[in-house]
Amino acid sequence: MSEVWETHTPEETWRLGYELGEKAGAKEVYCLDGDLGVGKTVFAQGFAAGLGIQESVNSPTFTIVQEYDQGRLPFYHFDVYRIGDVEEMEEIGYEDYFFGEGVCLIEWPSLISEILPDTAVWVLIEKEMERGFDFRRICVKRP
Ligand code: ADP
Ligand code: MG
């Protein structure tokens, strides 16, 4: 099942993230795909807010995963942009996150494609310059 959304501002992308975060369930893994600067972190911030997290969420810079525990469910925000090898995921014990009680959201999922569960929800954000600088098409694909 897939749904396509169009946004014209960062706030609209944040809002879509918020709505998905509100509906997210335990044990779900969201793969957030798209080029640099497309709005993955904006979406992730909305998603976290939708889960009831009030802390500010930024892309984890020095760690692969950042954990937030004060929302409706534990939230694990991965940004694997700087990962060298998928073995680094083994080292942090990724299975406890992917198959735990919380919700995972992964930026740059294609870098770790071999370990992604096939039950993951894929969110692809794309620009389309002909539609304007701030236009984004967001495709949400559920297994
Ligand atoms: P990524 O995490 O994908 O690298 P960021 O979320 O950090 O990207 O940055 C996206 C940038 O694009 C922000 O500066 C944001 O203000 C801008 N932007 C412009 N239009 C949109 C839109 N429709 N949706 C999301 N971000 C947008
Ligand atoms: Mg980012």
* Mean residue pLDDT across the chain: 96
Indicate if ligand 1 lies below 6 Å from the C-beta of 13: yes
Indicate if ligand 1 lies below 6 Å from the C-beta of 37: yes
pTM of the model: 0.96
Distance (angstroms) between ligand 2 centre and the Cα of 7 equals 17
Distance (angstroms) between ligand 1 centre and the Cα of 95 equals 29
Write out pLDDT tens, residues 41-83. Answer: 999 999 999 999 999 998 767 789 999 999 999 999 999 998 9
**Among the listed residues 61, 54, 53, 49, the one whose alpha carbon sits nearest the alpha carbon of residue 107:** 61
Indicate if ligand 1 lies below 6 Å from the C-beta of 10: yes
